[in-house]
Amino acid sequence: MTKRVVITGMGVVAPNAVGLQAFEHALKMGHSGIEYYPELAELGFSCCIGGIPKLSDEFIRNYLSELQLRNFNSSGILYGCIAGMDAWKDAGLELQETADFDSGTIFGAGTSGVDKFREAIYLLDEKKVRRLGSTVVAQTMASGVSAYLGGILGLGNQVTSNSSACTTGTESILLGYDRIVSGRAQRMLVGSTSDHGAYVWGGFDAMRVLTYKHNASPEKASRPMSATASGFVPGSGAGALLLESLESAQKRGARIYAEVLGGEVNSGGQKGEGSMTAPNSLAVQRCIRSTIENAGIEAGEIDLINGHLTATSKDSTEIRNWSEALGRKGTDFPLINSLKSMVGHCLSAAGSIESVASVLQIKSGFVFPNLNCEDLHSEITELISPDCIPQKYISREVKIVAKASFGFGDVNACVVFKKFEE
């Protein structure tokens, strides 16, 4: 019999809340974490709003030592360390003095230490290479976040970072799941992180994929599924989940949030309607169908979809893909929500922060509201009933959630979480 994989700990650093309890509250209340940032306006950005987690220096010192914080300038590694350490502790695990060979991490990132890299480039161009000191490599290497976490937690199994643009977080869950299912690890800390700021977001601003219409109304800016959606709002942060074999979790007497039933990752090959920046719907639907099959469930059992839904013209395409892949439409469609209405698009961190939100809905029995879609797009309401798109908090049992993420490079990932039953 194949190994079952459960979630025994979680951590989150999101623009609208830091820490599980605050995050659950923010989800239920529909708190937006989007704010105006004058530094973006000064740099001439069209979109001058974004989502940045709020962390005090005092709070940060609970996680990183004085030495680790010396010449430290990598927001993504910071967010990832906080979320990852929280997930580890939340699972009831200790910081150990010796390497734990049964525990590893697959903690993804899109970029690493972009601000640190900028500092280094200025010094290099001034011919001051030796002034870089020892801290540039660890903070700017793609695997920086997993390397930090591996050292802090004493992980002795696989320690790596995956990278697949905006699917990174969801992909990390499936990669960690596979490692446990194959019996090569007992515990895998999975998740993803994203740096914040102008040097990460600038490229998206230049592509005109960010909304520039809401600089004066940040909380109204992120409008997934709305007729007036005008581009996404850039976000940042990190999410982390401690995946564990059911065997190990039960042996430790650990609390179980939910079970991971599996999923699928694939790509549209940038063929057909797919490109570097647009999804091939054939591949998206195939990914969703394979996920259902791999998870061993029926499409009709899905209570809730946590979509990718970024607030661009692609939202209706996504809904059509879900509807066709699941064979469900109108009032028969599952409930669906998008966290991006509250926190924006957290890029490489999106999949993991949204997965934490998905699992919290299973754990506490609720569906969080979609903000800013009072004017649902007609292409969406032609496919599914407006009742499937809650705009108010709903208290109800949620047994099965399907979560998907799609990313540049025409890559897709979909995972199924289920309320744990023996």
Q: Which residues bind another protein (CB under 8 A)?
A: 66-67, 70-71, 130-131, 133-135
Task: Give least dist CB 127 to another protein, A.
Answer: 13
Task: Give least dist CB 69 to another protein, A.
Answer: 9
- Closer by beta carbon to another protein, 128 or else 208: 128
Task: Give least dist CB 39 to another protein, A.
Answer: 28
Spatial neighbors of 67 by CB under 8 A, at least 6 apart, are none
- Closer by beta carbon to another protein, 135 or else 355: 135
Q: Output the CA–CA distances (angstroms, integers) from residue 243 to 12, 142, 171, 259, 417, in the order listed.
A: 15, 22, 13, 9, 12
Task: Give least dist CB 71 to another protein, A.
Answer: 7
- Closer by beta carbon to another protein, 25 or else 70: 70
- Closer by beta carbon to another protein, 68 or else 162: 68
Question: Under a CB-based contact definition with an 8 Å cutoff, are residues 119 and 174 in contact?
Answer: no
Task: Report the alpha-carbon distance of residue 347 to residue 108 in Å, rounded.
Answer: 11
Task: Give least dist CB 66 to another protein, A.
Answer: 5
Task: Report the alpha-carbon distance of residue 9 to residue 11 in Å, rounded.
Answer: 7
- Closer by beta carbon to another protein, 127 or else 392: 127
Task: Report the alpha-carbon distance of residue 78 to residue 25 in Å, rounded.
Answer: 23
Task: Report the alpha-carbon distance of residue 32 to residue 224 in Å, rounded.
Answer: 13
Two tokens, residue 78: 């910071």
Task: Report the alpha-carbon distance of residue 223 to residue 225 in Å, rounded.
Answer: 6
Q: Where are the alpha helices (DSSP H) in 128-190?
A: 136-140, 144-153, 168-181
Instruction: Give me the torsion for CA of 284, 176, 107, 86, rounded to 10°.
Output: 120
Task: Report the alpha-carbon distance of residue 171 to residue 165 in Å, rounded.
Answer: 10
DSSP labels, 200-228: HHHHHHHTT-B--S-TT-GGGT--TTBTT
- Closer by beta carbon to another protein, 138 or else 415: 138
Q: Output the CA–CA distances (angstroms, integers) from residue 158 to 162, 186, 201, in the order listed.
A: 12, 11, 31
Question: Under a CB-based contact definition with an 8 Å cutoff, are residues 250 and 361 in contact?
Answer: no
Task: Give least dist CB 147 to another protein, A.
Answer: 13
Task: Give least dist CB 135 to another protein, A.
Answer: 7
Task: Give least dist CB 153 to another protein, A.
Answer: 18
- Closer by beta carbon to another protein, 134 or else 395: 134
Element (H, E) at 193: strand 187-194
- Closer by beta carbon to another protein, 127 or else 130: 130
- Closer by beta carbon to another protein, 67 or else 276: 67
Task: Give least dist CB 133 to another protein, A.
Answer: 5
Q: Tokens 């292409």 belong to which residue?
A: 379
- Closer by beta carbon to another protein, 133 or else 269: 133
Q: Tokens 């564990």 belong to which residue?
A: 244
Task: Give least dist CB 128 to another protein, A.
Answer: 10
